[in-house]
Chain A
Amino acid sequence: MTQNKITIALAGNPNVGKSTLFNAITGAHQHVGNWAGVTVEKKIGTRTYHDTEIEVVDLPGTYSLTAYSVDEIVARDYVVEDKPDVVVQIVDATNLERNLYLTTQLMELGSRLVIALNMWDVAESRGDKIDTTKMEEFLEIPVVKTIGNKGEGIDGLLDEVLREAGKGAHHEHEVSYGNEIESKIIELERILVNDDALSARYPLRWLAIKLLDGDENILEKIKVSPMATQIDNVLNTIDREDCEASMADKRYEAINTVLPQVCERCVKEVTFSDMIDHVVTNKYLGIPIFLSMMWAAFEVTFTFATPFMGMIDMFFGWLAGVVAENITTIWLGSLLGDGIVAGVGAVMIFLPNIMLLFLMLSLLEDCGYMARAAFIMDKLMYKIGLHGRSFIPLLMGFGCNVPAIMATRTIEDERDRLITILVNPFISCGARLPVYILLAGAFFGRDAGSVIFGLYMLGIIVAILSAKLIRGTLIKGKPAPFIMELPPYRIPTVKGSAIHMWEKGSLYVKKAGTIILAGVILVWLFSAIPSPGVDAAFASEEILGTGDSLMGALGHVIEPLVAPLGFDWRIAVALVFGFVAKEIVIGSMGVLYGVGKDEDALGDILVAGAMTPLSALGLMVFTLLYVPCIATIGVIKKETGSWKWTLFAAGYTTGLAWIAAFLIYQVGTYVGWGL
């Protein structure tokens, strides 16, 4: 029996050639609009085939039909509510396993399905042999080979669509979820059948499955059901996360039972990548493993760099000696020795650490582990109100916050993006590392690596808590989920990792020769000019780096603001100049504490009495949290397009830094720590 008019829906994963097939079926007879109430594109086309007018509705591309995104809700609501005569699922023949996951869900919806096995030519060219007859037998669904971009198989597909639409009784397919879950499904079905509104609209088994799946859209619908309490009672007897995971496992189990029988080479061997992924993405071990790997990276960064730092220190010590011996003009000798050599040397000494940190991060990234880190953090990110995609820009923030903030452009939702931008400065960039290395090395000895690791973790924790706070107050709403594919693990090449290390690390050298050089010259100049009312010569020993210099006067003005944190005027000034670039904090301290005219390194001078372990810890935390550098502020303004959010970022970070350093110093002093 043929019908005069039928409606078919095209469903499928993203990038399986759905639009191409839609165009091949409908030609020019289509129009584009939006789905009701959402900005998801809706395409409808028509085709007359064998006296039947076929309306073709192109559904949004989705990986599953669990309501993780608007696209998925739109797709499944259409299938459930508008009840198209046939759903055509376009399956990418080169990736059967992933595509069949959606098939299992469409089957559960009770749809009449036809599979368009698209791109089968590509699959066959690489040696996959797909037996469509066997596939039809196992799935009990018609399967038609198509090549959308060549228009091949379209007629065969439409023949099958008409045949399926004309069939009488429809046999629904089920995935078996095992005794425990099946008993819960039955229990829920028995309750749901008493809700007339829901049972008339949705298949009961499907509703029960979605409830056990933790489908938020369905859980919302249940809230207004007269059976809500009874349903909740059943749901409270299960661990929802475990249940959701086991159900996904069962679907894949079903797919993997069918796959080896319908395709000779589609069965994926369990590779080393799979084995590693099985462990590093483990629910309980994933995050501890990630933290362990990061600790190892910081331990190497700190300890292995130490002798190389010693070499650079020796070089700058020698250079200071050459300057002192050969430059007789006092101000010039002071500028070169106390200003440039002391300031730039204090920054350049940390080049080995910067390079090693970037090398470690490059190795983790190049081997493919960082993609797993993003994957294991995704769930946590979602819980705290950040988009899963936010983790990549946050990770990039370990290098530099400027490109990291620019990388938030990959986040489509404006609110998700804004939150990611606002919390990104808490991720400790490479420029802040010299401050930690100097202070942790000087005050915490062998524990320096752990202290630095702790600071990086603190930055992540503050970013997370801030995101939660902002999401709960200023930017309300729920983040959209994302699906990320994991690349296979690779052994990183020395050349590739070295190039990545150099790309990032060389920026540090460039900065040392430009912004930092200019900054320390400015600091030197201000510290060489006598403050008004002081009778002393420019750049003389009585003035340089003392409270009688212009810098000293400025420092004394702002000192009361930082005195409760245990900082003196020199640190206050260094922090102000750190706004230009964080490395200048160290460069400025080098100038202001007189490293150039002293044989001792800056760390030794600080330990000798200029700071205590407690104030050093406070300074590290303040440097971690306070207003990001001017370049980062600039990019926040550019990316948010708002002065309001830019000023908020500056004020919030500095306020938080002040409170944290205040608590560390005052509470620590009160209980007698580190004095």
Chain B
Amino acid sequence: MANKNKMFFALAAGILYVLFGCMQIVEQFGIKTGLAELLLIPGDIFGGLCLVVIGAVFLYGAKELNSGMNMGVSYVYVGILMSLVFMAVYVLIIGASLLEVYLIQNEDYLEWRIIDDIRPGLYLGFLSLAGYVAWRGRFSLPAAK
């Protein structure tokens, strides 16, 4: 049952990451999805590809768990870790902007708002954070027999 929950989680997270990653790539090519403003999606090829990779890890995990393979849990675990790493990267970017505004008082940042630096990699990370908190210590596999 626990693995079933993880499978659905991985499926949902995988679809979201792949979707948002694709939208970031598409936006970079100037194709307007109409969702960029609403969902704070920037045009960013490499950043988008990274989200697609995270999504692929989750989806691979969902596929393995669906086939009854316990090792699929590893993909959920690594997917969560990767998304938390990327979440941390975007938190650092916000930190850097805050330093520009309040410490350096950079003129280019006079009109900066925190929302300017919010990225899908940041808010999708909360989903992974929830997964991590919920299953922390329960990511384990039976010993090989």
- Greatest chain A CB density within 10 A among B53, B60, B99, B143 is at B53
Residues in A whose Cβ lies below 8 Å from that of B73: 275
Contact B53 A296 (CB under 8 A): no
Q: Which residues of A contact B141 (CB under 8 A)?
A: 270, 274-275
Is B50 in contact with A303, judged by CB distance below 8 angstroms? no
Judged by a CB distance under 8 angstroms, whether A507 is at the interface is no
Specify which chain B residues have a CB less than 8 angstroms from the CB of A634 in the assembled complex.
Answer: none
As a 0/1 sequence over residues 80 to 116 of chain B, the CB contacts with chain A under 8 angstroms (1 = contact) are: 0110011001001101100110011010000000000
Closest partner residue, chain A, to B46 (CB atom)? A450
Is B56 located at the chain interface by the 8 A CB criterion? yes
Q: Are B144 and A270 in contact (CB under 8 A)?
A: yes
**A280 & B78 in contact (Cβ 8 Å cutoff):** yes
Residues of A within 8 A of B45 (CB): 450
* The residue from B42, B92, B140, B145 contacting A300, defined by CB atoms under 8 A apart: B92
- The complex places the Cα of A449 from the Cα of B119 at a distance, in Å, of 15
Q: Which of A270, A276, A311 contacts B142 (CB 8 A)?
A: A270
B143 adjacent to A267 (CB under 8 Å): yes
- Residues of chain B contacted by A284 (CB below 8 angstroms): 60
Let me know if B144 and A267 touch, CB within 8 A: yes
Which secondary structure dominates where chain A touches chain B? helix
List residues of chain A with CB within 8 A of the CB of B93: 299, 303-304
Which bracket fits the contact residues of B? 35 or more
Do residues B50 and A295 form an inter-chain contact, with CB atoms below 8 A? yes
Which residue of A has the minimal Cβ distance to B141?
A: A270
> Is A69 close to B, CB under 8 A?
no
Distance in angstroms from B111 CB to nearest chain A CB is 15
Q: In the complex, what distance in Å separates the CA atom of A272 from the CA atom of B140?
A: 8
In the bound complex, do residue B78 and residue A276 qualify as a contact, i.e. CB atoms below 8 Å apart? Answer: yes
- Inter-chain CA distance A280–B54, complex, in Å, is 12
A300 touches B142 (CB 8 A): no
Within 8 A of A (CB), among B41-62: 42, 44-47, 49-50, 53-54, 56-57, 60
Minimum CB–CB distance from B43 to chain A (whole Å) comes to: 9
CA distance A278 to B104 in the complex (A): 45
Are the CB atoms of B99 and A275 closer together than 8 Å?
no
- Contact A303 B96, CB 8 Å, known A272-B139, A292-B54: yes
**A275 CB contact (under 8 Å) in B47, B53, B78, B82:** B78
Q: Which residues of the other chain, B, contact A454 by a CB distance below 8 angstroms?
A: 46
Contact, CB under 8 Å: A292 / B49: yes
Binary per-residue interface labels of chain A (501-528) against chain B in the complex, 1 for a CB within 8 Å, 0 otherwise: 0000000000000000000000000000
Contact of B96 among A276, A307, A453 (CB under 8 A): A307
Q: Which residues of A contact B9 (CB under 8 A)?
A: none
Contact B46–A295 (Cβ < 8 Å): yes
Q: How far is the CB of A280 from chain B (nearest CB, A)?
A: 7
Which residues of the other chain, B, contact A282 by a CB distance below 8 angstroms? Answer: 60
A-chain residues with CB within 8 Å of residue B143 when the two chains form the complex: 267-270
Contact of B145 among A256, A289, A299, A306 (CB under 8 A): A256
**Shortest Cβ distance from residue B78 to the other chain A in the assembled complex, whole angstroms:** 4
Across-interface contacts of B74 in A (CB, < 8 A): 274-276, 278-279
A14: interface (CB < 8 Å):
no
A310 lies within 8 A of B78 (CB) = no
C-alpha gap A274/B86 in the complex (Å): 22
A537 within 8 A of B: no
Contact B96–A278 (Cβ < 8 Å)? no
> Is B20 an interface position by the 8 A CB rule?
no
Expressed in whole angstroms, the minimum distance between the Cβ of B81 and any Cβ of chain A is 8
A292 touches B77 (CB 8 A): no
Least distance between A259 CB and chain B CB atoms (Å): 8
Q: Is A285 in the interface zone, CB < 8 Å from B?
A: yes
| Alpha-carbon separation in the docked complex, A460 to B81 (Å) | 26
**CB-based nearest B residue for A451:** B46
> Roughly how many angstroms separate A307 CA and B101 CA in the complex, as a whole number?
9
Q: Mark A296-339, 1 if CB is under 8 A from B, else 0.
A: 10011001111110110010000000000000000000000000
Closest chain A residue, CB of each to CB of B43: A447
Cα A314 to Cα B105 in complex, Å, equals 11
Q: Considering the chains assembled together, what is the distance between the CA atoms of A288 and B103 in angstroms? A: 37
Residue pair B56, A310 in contact (C-beta under 8 Å) = no
Instruction: Encode A249-272 as 1/0 by CB contact (under 8 A) with B.
Output: 000000011001000000111101
A256 nearest in chain B by CB position: B144
Check B46–A453 contact: CB distance below 8 A: yes
Question: What B residues does A447 contact at CB under 8 A?
Answer: 44
Q: Which residue of B lies closest to A255 (CB)?
A: B144
Residues of A near B46 (CB, < 8 A) are 295, 449-450, 453-454
A186 within 8 A of B: no
Q: List, in ascending order, chain A residues with CB within 8 A of B49's CB.
A: 288, 291-292, 295
Which residues of chain A have C-beta atoms less than 8 A from B100's C-beta? 306-307, 310
29 A–B contacts, CB within 8 A, in A order: A256-B144, A257-B145, A270-B144, A272-B77, A272-B139, A274-B74, A278-B74, A279-B60, A279-B77, A279-B78, A280-B78, A282-B60, A285-B56, A285-B57, A288-B49, A288-B56, A289-B78, A293-B85, A296-B50, A303-B93, A303-B96, A304-B93, A307-B100, A310-B100, A311-B103, A314-B104, A446-B42, A449-B46, A453-B46
8 closest cross-chain pairs (CB), A and B: A307-B99, A275-B74, A270-B141, A279-B78, A292-B50, A450-B46, A310-B104, A278-B74
Give 7 new A-B contacts, CB below 8 A, not counting A292-B49, A307-B99.
A270-B141, A295-B50, A306-B96, A306-B100, A310-B104, A450-B45, A450-B47
